[in-house]
Chains A and B, each alone.
Chain A
Amino acid sequence: MAQALTRLKESPSQTAGPYVHIGLTPNFGGIGGVYPTDLGSTMITDKTKGERIGLRIRVLDGTGTPLRDALIEIWQADANGFYNSPTDLRGDADPDFQGWGRQPTDMETGICTFQTIKPGRVPFGDGRLMAPHISLWIVARGINIGLNTRLYFSDEAKANAEDPILARIEHKVRVPTLIAERQGDNYIFDVHLQGEKETVFFDS
């Protein structure tokens, strides 16, 4: 016998269920007066530095139907590639940009809309730069454990080509599942939960 490793197990995940709005976006869900605003609903102010962009994200089920009861959170670096986080020791992030957003999918269209700025490049562990990207976390009824993925940008082809995470995707035909298409100031991104175009989800 040796000493025991005294480790706890992570609490098991359970689905966010159909009423996730009550807890995470109550004003959107029709419960007013408890919180002044829904947390994460506004990401930028006039003072935030960087190129203004919109994200139009849908989450599609195995039949291609958009989910109308999903919730998406995003996390990203500022325009210079710094995270506004105590665990980013590299430098001072833009104080006018938290970098975190939360939005429900529209109950009719299934479109999830974020107004944010385009992130700068963040270094990978070995010092190479990753391509600009936004981390996504998706929860909904029927999703037992939150799904992690990234949104990359179609107008960053050169950076995408040298991105160390995209490079790890064995089947190159799946790389485009992580690249949002630029249309004007907006990026269009469809997340496919299943099927031929299934998005690459992460275990990281």
Chain B
Amino acid sequence: MPVDAGSNRRPETGAFFQRDRSWHPPALTPDYKTSVLRSPQKALLAFDNTASEITGPVFGHAMLGELDADLIHNFAKSGESAIGERIIVYGRVLDERGVGVPGALLEFWQANAGGRYRHKKDGYLAPLDPNFGGCGRTITDADGGYAFRTVKPGPYPWPNGPNDWRPSHIHFSVFGHGFAQRLITQMYFEGDPLIWRCPIVGGIRDKAAVEALIAVLDMQSTAPMDALAYKFDIVLRGRRSTLFENRPEGN
């Protein structure tokens, strides 16, 4: 199956760049209390990618429904729409070489404008919006670009410290070309003072790494009289060239 139909480029088969684990939050971040009993304590087993890590499934645009990338409408009754600040979230999925990643599956989920999730475990007193489900998905185009429409999620309190609040955020699941590129992260919003008070964000040690998760307001990409726009680029692990590797192709 071609990665990008229409191009006769051979698919890249190199191993992924080693992950910089000091850039990611460590497994154990005691201020985020749930991590204490759920964090591995022994050293990870390091090895160069094998075919099992380099390969990954392909998700075709055909699997997408018409409203998958429109959270304002994909759960709403006909003629109605979700309540909240209407926003467009757009950007590119790139790899560490700066190359766009086409065909990446992006799935996103979020609380409604009041900070409430449509989930039986969420008992926050902010009401559910009958027209908002909170999930969406899309697949990146030939340049790695994507866009979707939603409402800005509200911040919410959560049981961790006595008064911890999550900043407004959208959860992102990203599936690039290889199983070893698999990533889940969260997008935050420029200017939110709760970002720097959040114990989950605080697990990331480098300020520049936190800033890489903060979407920027882009007044040039708004839909006038309709929706504001935030740009959020996502970076996946880069891929080594196979030019100088003397092992059998595909391994």
Contacts and interface: CB of A to CB of B under 8 A. Distances in A.
A63 B40 contact: no
Interface residues of B, number: 96
Given A10-B19, A22-B117, A202-B44, A16 B58 contact: no
Given A9-B235, A10-B237, A135-B52, A30 B120 contact: yes
A61 B177 contact: no
Interface in B26-40: 26-27, 29, 32, 34-40
A36 B178 CA distance: 25
Contact of B52 (A31, A122, A201): A122
B250 A88 contact: yes
B251 A137 contact: no
Interface stretch (A110-118, A125-133, A153-161, A182-190): A125-133
Interface in A172-198: 174, 193-194, 198
A21 B185 CA distance: 15
Nearest to B93: A11
Interface in A55-86: 61-63, 67, 69, 73, 75, 77, 83-86
Contacts of B204: 12, 14
Interface string A25-67: 0100111011110010000000000000000000001110001
A198 B248 CA distance: 34
A13 B25 contact: yes
Of B174, B183, B249, most buried by chain A (CB within 10 Å of CB) is B183
Contacts of A202: 44-47
B94 interface: yes
Given A75-B179, A144-B26, A201 B45 contact: yes
B130 to A, nearest CB: 12
A87 B25 contact: no
Nearest to A21: B119
B212 interface: yes
Given A14-B200, A31-B135, A23 B49 contact: no
A148 B75 contact: no
A17 B61 CA distance: 27
A12 B24 contact: yes
Contacts, number: 281
Given A17-B171, A30-B120, A35-B65, A133 B41 contact: no
Interface string A88-99: 111000000011
A12 B96 CA distance: 12
Contacts of B23: 9-10, 12
A159 to B, nearest CB: 14
A17 to B, nearest CB: 6
A69 to B, nearest CB: 7
22 contacts: A6-B98, A7-B97, A9-B20, A9-B212, A10-B24, A13-B185, A14-B186, A14-B204, A22-B119, A23-B173, A29-B119, A87-B250, A123-B251, A144-B32, A168-B45, A169-B45, A174-B42, A193-B38, A193-B40, A194-B39, A194-B40, A204-B47
Interface of B: 1-3, 11-13, 18-21, 23-27, 29, 32, 34-42, 44-58, 63, 65, 67-68, 74-75, 94-98, 107-109, 117-122, 133-135, 137, 171, 173-174, 177-180, 182-186, 200-201, 203-204, 208-210, 212-213, 234-238, 247-251
Interface of A: 6-24, 26, 29-31, 33-36, 39, 61-63, 67, 69, 73, 75, 77, 83-90, 98-100, 122-127, 130, 133, 135, 137, 139-148, 150, 165, 168-169, 174, 193-194, 198-204
Given A23-B134, A26-B135, 19 more contacts: A8-B94, A9-B212, A10-B235, A10-B237, A15-B35, A19-B121, A24-B107, A24-B173, A75-B56, A77-B51, A87-B250, A90-B249, A90-B250, A142-B32, A144-B26, A193-B39, A194-B40, A202-B44, A203-B18
Q: Which 9 A-B pairs have the closest CB atoms?
A: A23-B109, A142-B34, A142-B38, A85-B55, A203-B44, A62-B37, A89-B250, A83-B55, A14-B186
